[in-house]
A and B are shown apart, each in its own frame.
Chain A
Amino acid sequence: MDESGLIHDAQHGDLNAFNSLVLAYQGIVYNTALRILGDDDLAADATQEAFISAFRALNSYRGGSFRAWLLRTVTNACYDELRRKKRRPTTPLEPGTEDSDDIESPRWLTDPNPSPEDQLDQEELEHAIQHCLENLPNNFRAVVILADIQGFDYNEVAVVVKTPVGTVKSRLARARLRLRECLQTFGELLPAAFRLEEERGL
C-alpha cells in the first residue's frame, strides 16, 4: 500500500498500517535522534517516544512531507531528553567542550579491541563529527543534521524545526562555519578520511 493510504488507515486507528510506516521510517528517525543526542540508548528511547506521540497526534498531520512531520516529533522528543539530561547530568562518554587536553590526546577514541585501520578512521571521523555537532546550539544542530546528514531540502527542514526558510538558511550557514572550525581542530586526528575529503572538496 502507498504511504498516503497507510497514513489514512493509521489516522483511523489501524495500528498495523502505522507500524508499516514505523518500519519505513525508523532508520531515519533513529539516526536523527542519535546525532542530536549522541547516545544509542537515549536515541532509541526518543525514537520510541516519538513514534508513540506521532501515533497519538496523527490526526494533526494534514498532508505535506510526512517524514518532515514525523521528524518534528522526534526532534521534540530529543529536546525533551536534552532538557532532562541538563537537569540530571551524567558522566559524559566523550570530552566536554572545555576539555582541550582530551581533544589533543583522545583517550575516548582508543578502542580496546583493535580493528582494521579504515574502520578506525571511520570511527574517529564519526566521533569527531559527533563531538562537533554536540558543541552546536540545539537549534543549529537539528538544522545541520537534517540538511547535511539526512539530506532534507530547506523547505522540509523549515517544517521540522518550525521556522521560516530564511532562518533555516542562516542557521545552516552559521552551523557549517562553526563545524568547519571545530573539525579543523581534528585535522591531524582524522588523517585519511578528512584529507581525502579535502582533496575532493577543493
Chain B
Amino acid sequence: MTTPSFHEVEQLSAYLDGQLSPEEIMRLEAHLQADSSLRALLGDLRQARQTLRRIPQHPVPRNFILTPKMAGIRPPLPRLVPALSWASAVAAILFIITLGGNLLGQLSFGATAPMLAAAPMTSQGSGLVGAPAATQPPSMDNAQLTPTQQASLLVPPEALPSGETRSIAPAPANKAASNPVNLWLFVWPSLAVLLIGSALLIRWLTLLAFRRKINKK
C-alpha cells in the first residue's frame, strides 16, 4: 500500500470520465486490484464527482433576451456619411469665411478713410525722396551715365505711380467690387444652410427606412 502519486490521481479522475485509452484502462484496473489505497481514492473521487452532479440547476430568475438598445443596434448611417462629413467641414469653412469677411469688411471700411488720407502723403513723400536720388546723380556725372543707368534711375519715379495706385487701390476696388462681395456674403451662408439641410434630410430618410425595417420584423 503506497500513497498514490498525482499521476495516479489524474488517471483515476480521467477513468471516471471515460477519458482513458483501452490500454490505460487495463493498466489502471490491474493497479486497482493490487492496491487498496488506490481503490479507496477512486471511491472518494467518484463520491466527490457524484455529489457535484447532484447540485440542482436553478431556474433563471428572468429572461436574458437582448433589447436592440442592449445589443447596441443603432440605425445605420447613411452611405453618404463621408460626403456629408466633408460637406459639414466645407460648410464650417464657408461660415468662418463669411464671418471673417463681414468682420474684415467692417474693419476695412473703417480703415479705408485714414488709408486714403495717408496714401497721397506717402506717395508724395516717396516721390520727394525718390526725386533727389534720381536727379542728383545725373547732375554729378552726366557724361558717365549710360542709358541703362538712366533707365534704372528712372525706375523709382516709374514705380511710384504704380505704388500710388496700389495704396489707393483698396478704396475704389472695394467700391467697384462691393456688389460681388455682397453677393458672396449671401451665397456662402445659403450654401452652408443647403448642405446642412440636405444632411438632415438624408439622415431623416435613413432613420425612416430603419424604423420601417424594424417594424416589419
B49 contacts chain A at the CB level, 8 A cutoff: yes
Q: A137-174, CB under 8 A of B: which get 1 and which 0?
A: 00000001001110101100000000000000110111
B57 contacts chain A at the CB level, 8 A cutoff: yes
B212 contacts chain A at the CB level, 8 A cutoff: no
Q: Is the CB of B64 within 8 A of A48?
A: yes
Stretch at the interface among A19-27, A79-87, A97-105: A19-27
Residues of B within 8 A of A30 (CB): 58, 60-61, 64
Q: Is the CB of B55 within 8 A of A176?
A: no
Q: Is the CB of A173 within 8 A of B52?
A: no
A172, B61: Cα distance in complex, Å = 29
Residues of chain A from 168 to 190 with CB closer than 8 A to chain B in the complex: 169-170, 172-174, 176-177, 179-180, 183
User: Interface size of A by Cβ–Cβ distance < 8 Å?
Assistant: 51
Q: How large is the interface on B (under 10, 10 to 19, 20 to 34, 35 or more residues)?
A: 35 or more
A36, B72: Cα distance in complex, Å = 27
Q: Is the CB of A176 within 8 A of B13?
A: yes
B160 contacts chain A at the CB level, 8 A cutoff: no
**A44 with B61, Cβ < 8 A, contacts A173-B6, A194-B51, A201-B43 known:** yes
Q: Is the CB of B44 within 8 A of A15?
A: no
Using A44-B62, A47-B60, A174-B6 as known contacts, list a sample of 6 further A-B pairs with CB atoms less than 8 Å apart, ordered by residue number in A.
A18-B66, A30-B58, A56-B72, A151-B53, A177-B9, A177-B45
Interface positions of B (Cβ within 8 A of A):
6, 9-10, 12-14, 17, 19, 43-66, 68, 70-73, 217
Interface positions of A (Cβ within 8 A of B):
13, 15-16, 18-19, 22-23, 26-27, 29-31, 34-35, 40, 44, 47-48, 51-52, 55-56, 122, 125-126, 129-130, 144, 147-149, 151, 153-154, 169-170, 172-174, 176-177, 179-180, 183, 193-194, 197-198, 200-202
